[in-house]
Amino acid sequence: MSIHFVPFIQLDGRAKEAIDFYVEALGAEVTFSQTFGAGPGESDNSMSEAVKDRIAHSELKIGEAQLMVADSEPGKSPREGDLLTVCITTPDVEQATRMYHALREGGEMITPLSAFHFSPAYGVVKDKFGVTFQCFTSKRRS
């Protein structure tokens, strides 16, 4: 079973700037990037053009390491201490569910674990030590 722990940087409207910076400063390669406007079901006009242009998710490769960078959801600025989180990625829904609930014990649920268009099981939890984890189940096998 493959499990990956990946640093995840969340910014408030500056993700593109940060990505460009990491490409230049660290030699990062952008392997995936999607804006909020490019997500499924986002073709309606409920978002402003500025919000549609924000980065919903990106993956950068730096040597053998991975880094994820995104903007916060529209209208939800990241809380202090949440600019850098840990994304736990596994291809197994049961494993993601077990880890999510174990980390939640004595902590705080931020996003309930559920299916999203990008993951069969995704949730965000802050553990009892104040560390924020994103539990993500990948659609593709690692």
Residue 78 has pLDDT above 80, yes or no: no
Residue 81 has pLDDT above 80, yes or no: no
Q: Range with the lowest mean pLDDT among 41-45, 47-51, 80-84, 104-108?
A: 41-45
Burial letters for 50-74: b for 16+ Cβ neighbours within 10 Å, e otherwise?
ebbebbbbbbbeeeeebbbbbbbeb
Q: pTM for the complete prediction? A: 0.76
Report all structural domains of the chain as residue ranges with CATH numbers, in order of start: 11-75 (3.30.720), 79-142 (3.30.720.110)
Model confidence band, residue 73 (pLDDT cutoffs 50, 70, 90): confident
pLDDT tens column, 109-122: 999 999 988 899 99
Q: Return the number of other C-beta atoms located less than 10 Å from residue 128's C-beta.
A: 11
Instruction: Report the percent of the chain where pLDDT is more than 90.
Output: 63
For residue 140, what pLDDT is reported?
59
For residue 97, what pLDDT is reported?
95
Which positions ≥6 away from 104 have C-beta within 8 Å?
Answer: 125, 127
pLDDT tens column, 27-46: 999 999 999 888 876 555 67
Residue 141 has pLDDT above 50, yes or no: no
